[in-house]
Amino acid sequence: MKKHSAPEIVKRIAFAVLLMFLGSTLVAGALGQTPSKILTLEEQELIKAQKGNEEAQAEYYREQTNKLRQPPLAASPTPGKTFRQSVAENPASVVGVIGTILGAIIVALVSLTTLYFNSRNAIKAQRDSQFYEAMKRMGDKDSPTLRASAAGLLALMARQEWREPTLTKKWPFLQVEKSRPYFETAVNQLLVGHQLESNRVGTESIKNALQQLVPLIPQNIGAITHELHAANLSIQDVVASLVAEFFAISGCDSPYADDEQSIDLWRQLESSTSFDMRSLRKLVSHNRSYANRFWSYRFIIDAQNAGDRGQLLSAIHDKLQVASANLRANITLFCTALGQLQQKDTPEQSHYWCPFRFKRAFLVDGEIGHGANLSNLDFEYGNFSGMHLHNVNLANTNLNGATLNMWMDGGSLRNAQLSWAEFDGDNIRGVDMTDALLAKARIPAGLSSAWLKADFTHADKIDNKLLESLFKNDSQLVPTDLNEVHASVRTFLESKQEKSKQDTVCS
């Protein structure tokens, strides 16, 4: 028997009841209207068939009603469909869902990106305003306090890193690069202020700011070192000009006078500048315009009415104090840059290759860190008085005419050019001087290093006078095997031994 659903059974029962109601109504109406009569046999059989049919239908609907009243059986679970089956049956619905999700993600990303760049631009605009304000304060000519604080602020902002997302051709295609957008401008501004600052507190503040920034620029350390060298020469010119003016006002007859009056004036300059007399004399002697400035100032002073020059001398002393403070600050920065100028493992080159030239560098009382590499540089006529060099490499370096009254522990002067250099030999210890050109050098008290391996030839002649002086002070250093010494020294020692033998024979 065919099974029907519950709604269909209800419909059938309602339809049967309606038919029964209408049938009974029609029969009753017919009976009420038609007069009773005797039914024929066929009519009686028809009526019996109708009644049997009605009873069968009633029985059927009673059975269906009883089934409806019984509790329904638990439906068997429909087997779940995989994602692949769902896509195969209805791909449009899956595409619609994925499209909705992607649209929401894109909208969220656009919103976040817009928020990121808006916030970033706002922060950058704020920092730009702060940086320009610091630059403005740095140029304030009336307030040393503002200039000093601006120097510290510039150093702080120059060290700040800014991260920029960039696209690349290799994986990962989106990378973040670090940069310091204010660094170069801040360093240039501080270098200008370093030369122009007229207040000692401001000078010290600028020096401290640059001291923080110089170690952060290894990729451009050569250019910065050259700028510091140029500033060193410029400040030397200022000091030399003030010294010339000082001697002119003091009534000296010559810029290089060496009488008792000039000695007393040099001692006054020592007090004003805090540099020793010998270093100051070296400074002016290597300055090409010093003598011309002296005579120009002398002409101006002589043209003026004689009077009290005390105020002029007082003003000169004040200017000398400021200039010497600038020079000392420059020496500290210059030494810091030199210590990082070259990698320690840079190979030594020939005598004729010089990547950097720092002639007439004034580095009095400076200090260069342990293990610095100053090989193949040019320090001709430089002043290293009072410097401390700890295991510094000066191989192949041009030090002709330099003042080397310094403390040098360890390190190398191999192949260095030292002709006409001035040594304080007792303070140079444990230094490799193999093949160093020492001829014509001025070494009043001997050398504590292995000078026997140095080259004492100059213009194809051996500097026997210098060798005699060194041999007199360090004769105990001479080895028994003369093959261990330089050829020029071996020639000198052999000639000395030969002369000693002849003296012995004659006696």
Cα(485)–Cα(470) distance, integer angstroms: 14
Task: Provide the angle, in degrees to the nearest 10, between the axes of the packed helices 310-339 and 200-213.
Answer: 10
Contact yes or no for 277/269 (Cβ under 8 A) = yes
Q: How would residue 27 be classed by pLDDT, with cut points 50, 70 and 90? A: very low
Q: Amino acid identity of 231?
A: A
**Is pLDDT at 468 greater than 60 in this prediction?**
yes
Contact yes or no for 150/133 (Cβ under 8 A) = no
Cα(155)–Cα(191) distance, integer angstroms: 12
Mean pLDDT of all residues in 380-389? 94
Q: How would residue 127 be classed by pLDDT, with cut points 50, 70 and 90? A: confident
DSSP 289: T
Contact yes or no for 322/200 (Cβ under 8 A) = yes
Q: How would residue 367 be classed by pLDDT, with cut points 50, 70 and 90? A: very high
Name beta bridge partners: 392.
none
Question: Quick one: pLDDT at residue 280?
Answer: 95
Cα(435)–Cα(440) distance, integer angstroms: 15
Tell me which residue range forms the domain holding 492.
Answer: 344-506
Say what the pTM is.
Answer: 0.74
Decide which of 283, 315, 336 is a domain's last residue.
Answer: 336
Question: Quick one: pLDDT at residue 15?
Answer: 65
Dihedrals phi, psi of 343, to nearest 5 degrees: -65, 150
> Tokens 């019984």 belong to which residue?
70
Contact yes or no for 330/363 (Cβ under 8 A) = no
**Tokens describing residue 283:** 């400074």
- 368 with 497, same domain? yes
**Is pLDDT at 229 greater than 90 in this prediction?**
yes
**Tokens describing residue 161:** 């890193």
Mean pLDDT of all residues in 189-211? 92
Cα(313)–Cα(87) distance, integer angstroms: 99
Q: How would residue 253 be classed by pLDDT, with cut points 50, 70 and 90? A: confident
Would you call 54 helix, strand, or coil by DSSP? helix
Of 29-38, 214-223, 387-396, 482-491, the range with the lowest mean pLDDT is 29-38
Q: Amino acid identity of 214?
A: V
Which residues are CB-contacts of 144 (< 8 A; sequence separation ≥ 6)?
199, 201, 202
Contact yes or no for 255/294 (Cβ under 8 A) = yes
- 316 with 284, same domain? yes
Would you call 174 helix, strand, or coil by DSSP? strand
- 242 with 323, same domain? yes
Question: Quick one: pLDDT at residue 496?
Answer: 81
- 375 with 391, same domain? yes
Cα(140)–Cα(107) distance, integer angstroms: 50
Cα(189)–Cα(257) distance, integer angstroms: 40
Whether 212 maps to a domain, the answer reads: no
Decide which of 304, 336, 368 is a domain's last residue.
Answer: 336
Contact yes or no for 430/410 (Cβ under 8 A) = yes
Whether 127 maps to a domain, the answer reads: no
Mean pLDDT of all residues in 210-232? 89
Whether 451 maps to a domain, the answer reads: yes
- 308 with 369, same domain? no
Whether 363 maps to a domain, the answer reads: yes
Q: How many CA atoms lie within 13 Å of 36's alpha carbon, on the beta-carbon side?
A: 0
**Tokens describing residue 356:** 């950097």
Checking DSSP bridges between strand 461-462 and strand 457-458, what pairing results, if any? antiparallel
- 357 with 393, same domain? yes
Q: How would residue 412 be classed by pLDDT, with cut points 50, 70 and 90? A: very high
Of 10-24, 279-293, 356-370, the range with the lowest mean pLDDT is 10-24
Total of domains in the chain: 2
Whether 190 maps to a domain, the answer reads: no
Cα(299)–Cα(181) distance, integer angstroms: 51
Cα(486)–Cα(488) distance, integer angstroms: 5
Query: Which one is predicted more confidently, 74 or 280?
Result: 280
- 401 with 291, same domain? no
Whether 85 maps to a domain, the answer reads: no
Contact yes or no for 287/236 (Cβ under 8 A) = yes
Whether 370 maps to a domain, the answer reads: yes
Contact yes or no for 429/445 (Cβ under 8 A) = no
Query: Which one is predicted more confidently, 269 or 484?
Result: 269
Q: How many CA atoms lie within 13 Å of 439's alpha carbon, on the beta-carbon side?
A: 16
Question: Quick one: pLDDT at residue 31?
Answer: 45
User: Can you give 361-428 as a three-state secondary structure string?
Assistant: CECCCCEECCCCECCCEECCCCECCCCEEECCECCCCECCCCEECCEEECCECCCCECCCCEECHHHE
Whether 405 maps to a domain, the answer reads: yes
Decide which of 312, 336, 360 is a domain's last residue.
Answer: 336
- 310 with 365, same domain? no
Length of the chain: 507
> Tokens 């692949």 belong to which residue?
84
- 247 with 309, same domain? yes
- 275 with 369, same domain? no
Q: Amino acid identity of 341?
A: L
- 314 with 354, same domain? no
Domain with residue 476: its CATH number is 2.160.20
Helix or strand run (H / E) with residue 128:
helix 91-138
How many separate helices (H) and strands (E) can be counted in the chain?
14, 12
Of 15-19, 398-402, 439-443, the range with the lowest mean pLDDT is 15-19
Q: How would residue 81 be classed by pLDDT, with cut points 50, 70 and 90? A: low
Q: How would residue 32 be classed by pLDDT, with cut points 50, 70 and 90? A: very low
**Tokens describing residue 350:** 């020939």
Dihedrals phi, psi of 410, to nearest 5 degrees: 70, -170
- 430 with 319, same domain? no
DSSP 448: S
